[in-house]
Amino acid sequence: MEQLGIYEVSPEDFALAEFVDSSKLELQRIVRQGLNMLRKENA
């Protein structure tokens, strides 16, 4: 995630992609979990 620039995004950046995704993945929740995981590891 770090190599792909996870620190540069927020869950809201994926709102449109989540809205139009036909499989209805909860992209904002997935990104939020990833960010929370990184914060716990770096704390």
- 1 lies in some domain: no
pLDDT tens digit sequence for 7-33:
899 999 999 999 999 999 999 999 999
**How many domains does one find in the chain?**
1
Dihedral over Cα of 37, 26, 10, 12: its sign: negative
Which are the contacts of 24, defined by CB distance < 8 A and separation ≥ 6? 18
Q: How far is the C-alpha of 10 from the C-alpha of 28, rounded, in Å?
A: 8
pTM, two decimals, is: 0.78
Domain that holds residue 25: 6-42
- pLDDT for position 42: 85
Which are the contacts of 32, defined by CB distance < 8 A and separation ≥ 6? 11
